[in-house]
Each structure stands twice: as C-alpha cells, then as structure tokens.
Structure 1
Amino acid sequence: MNIPNILTAIRFVFVPFFAYYLYNEQYTVAVVLFLLAGITDVLDGLIARKFNMITSWGKLADPLADKMMQLTALTILTMQEIIPLPVLIIVVAKESFMVVGSILIYKKVNFVVQADWYGKFATVVFFLAIVLTIAIRSGRFINPYTDVVVNIAVIIAVVSTLFAFFMYTIQFRKLTIKSK
C-alpha cells in the first residue's frame, strides 16, 4: 500500500468520527475533520500523479471515500433539517447512477470510469457548500445573510451535481454504443 492509498484509507477512518461529531452538533470538530479529509484527498491525488503511484484500488477507493464523507454530511444535515431532503435525494440518485453505471461499463467494456472535470468540480462545490454550512452552524459566522449564503451555495452545488450527472450519462451512453 503506497502513500496515496494510505491517505485514502485515512479518509475512510474519518467517516464515523465525522458522523459522530456532526450528528452531536459539535460542528467545529466536524468541520475540522471534514477539512482534513479534503486535504488528504488533494494530497493523495497530487502524490499519486506526481510520483506515478496510481493504482486500481486508488481509482476506486478515492472517489468512494469522498462520496462517503459527502453523503454522510448530507444525510446528517438533512436529518437535522439544515439541508432539504430533495438535495440528498438528487445526490444519492446521481451517485447510485454512477456506481451502477460504472459497474456495468466495466463488465461490458472492461473500462474503469474515472472522475472527469465536471465530476471533480461538482465534488469541490459540494465540499465547499458543506464546509460553509457546517461552519455557519458552529455559530461563529452567523449574520443576517448566512441563510441566504448557505442556500445559494447548496443550490450551486446541486446544479453542478445535476450537470455532472448529465455529462456522465452522455459519457456512459457513448461507451455503451462503442461496445456494440
């Protein structure tokens, strides 16, 4: 196991701790854990590419670790009635499509689907929206505009997720047509 894969594994370990602190409304600790997970994500990608340490396990586990953190955050924030349920439903639908589609593409044409720029963009935008939401919930940044800022950030994140969903649908369709 190389350094990028260890960093990815650390993100998996962060998930239950992050969930515990977020669920118990200890927002400062939760946002720190979420930020640390984001830093390990950036580092593992940079190290893997720079030192040619890209592995099949890393290609699969890295986005899974990201999605586990993201879905954990969205699920708990939805339970706490901070994020509306339709946001969670949209993200779960997109991620379910990605998992099922990736498996089918792999079985059909032996191709491992990797994140494209639009998927990475959507992940970063949602990461920022979640950090902003949790940071504001910590009580340190509350002002008359915080709800508006959070709502705008979440809307931009949802739109970017829907865009990525649309683009991946086109990509999957092209791959399946090529294989016929």
Structure 2
Amino acid sequence: MNLPNLLTMVRLALIPVYLVVFFSDQPMRMYWALGIILLAGLTDVVDGYLARRNQQITQLGIMLDPLADKLMMIAVFLSLLISGKISFWAAVAIFFRDMTMILCSVIFHFRGKKTVPANMLGKLTTVLFYIALLLLMISSPGDSMWEIAQVFLWSVIALSYLTSIVYMFQLKMVNERFM
C-alpha cells in the first residue's frame, strides 16, 4: 500500500472519531469536530498531491479517495441533521447524491469498468462543501450567519448535482473508448 492510499485510509478512520467528538459532551466539541473535518480535508489534498507527484495513482486510490470523501460528508451532514443545523430536505439531497455516486462507482469498479479521478469541478465542490460546513458549525439556527449558511449550502448542493452529471459523462466517455 502506498502513502497516498494510506492517507485515504486514515481519512476513513477519522469518520468514527469525528462522530464520537461531535456527539460528545466535551466543551468546544464543535471546534474539535471541525478540526477533524479540516484534518480529513488536508489528508485529501496531500494524498492527491503525493499520488500525482510520485506517480502513485492506483485504481484502488481512484475508487477509495472519493469514497472516503463522500462517507465523511455523509457522516458530517447526518450529524448536522440530527443536531438541527440543516433541514431534512438538504440532508436528503446530499445523501441521495452521495449514495448514488458511491453505488455507481462500486458497480463500475466490480464490472471491470474504468473509473475516472475527481476533476477540478469536483474538487471545487468539495472545497465549497467544507466552507458550508464551517459556516453551519459556527452558526446557530436563527442568527444571520445561519441563514447565509443555509443559502450557501443549497448553492453547493446544486453545484454538486451539476458536478455529478459531468462525472457521469466522463465515465461514459472513458468506458466507450475501452469497449
């Protein structure tokens, strides 16, 4: 296992750590939880950089990297739903999109189809989701920052669906070439 894939595995291991911290009674738990999210984001950036720089891009990494991102986002948005920081419909929109992307990737992988690495639009969407998370975690329902965070979140959700459509077209194109 190469270092980029190991960092992806660390990111997967951070998911239960985040959930334990978020739902704990610890003072400043939101800041600690946010720190875990940012650490996960940093490992995402570093593993991608190392994989490209050291030419260690693998099919396993291409599949696990976005899976780790999506599972972390699902865990975070589930915690925000349970705590009342996002609406049921925002959570449904996020979960539906991410679960669809995960299932499609798994199906493509196990059918021996090629997968494609995240594109710039996907990376931008991930960064914007992290910004939305920051805004949601530091605000409370009813204050003006929370309203801004909600509008920003829905904008990012819309962008994520556009990103998914682009990704599906890329998958279709790369697999038509190899038929």
The separation in 1 between residues aligned to 2:111 and 2:7, in whole angstroms, is 31
What's 1:11 paired with? 11
The separation in 1 between residues aligned to 2:178 and 2:51, in whole angstroms, is 30
1:8–1:62 Cα contact (<8 Å) kept: yes
SS in 2 for 1:45: helix
Q: How does the TM-score come out when normalised to structure 1? A: 0.84
Change (3 A) 1:86 1:112: same
Percent of aligned positions that are identical = 26
Change (3 A) 1:7 1:145: same
What's 2:104 paired with? 101
Letter in 1 for 2:132: A
What's 2:70 paired with? 67
User: How far 1:148 moved relative to its partner?
Assistant: 2.2
Aligned residues: 176
Is 2:166 aligned against 1:167? yes
The separation in 1 between residues aligned to 2:136 and 2:11, in whole angstroms, is 20
Is 2:103 aligned against 1:87? no
What's 2:34 paired with? 31
The separation in 2 between residues aligned to 1:157 and 1:150, in whole angstroms, is 10
Please list every run of at least 4 consecutive aligned residues from structure 1 whose deviation after the TM superposition is greater than 6 angstroms: 176-180
Letter in 1 for 2:86: I
1:106–1:113 Cα contact (<8 Å) kept: no
Gap regions ≥5 residues in structure 2? none
Change (3 A) 1:42 1:81: same
What's 1:42 paired with? 45
The separation in 1 between residues aligned to 2:173 and 2:55, in whole angstroms, is 29
SS in 1 for 2:55: coil
Letter in 2 for 1:7: L
The separation in 2 between residues aligned to 1:56 and 1:174, in whole angstroms, is 17
CA RMSD of aligned residues (A): 2.5
Letter in 2 for 1:101: C
User: How far 1:104 moved relative to its partner?
Assistant: 3.8
The separation in 2 between residues aligned to 1:61 and 1:173, in whole angstroms, is 20
Gap regions ≥5 residues in structure 1? none
Letter in 1 for 2:157: V
Is 2:155 aligned against 1:156? yes
1:75–1:88 Cα contact (<8 Å) kept: yes
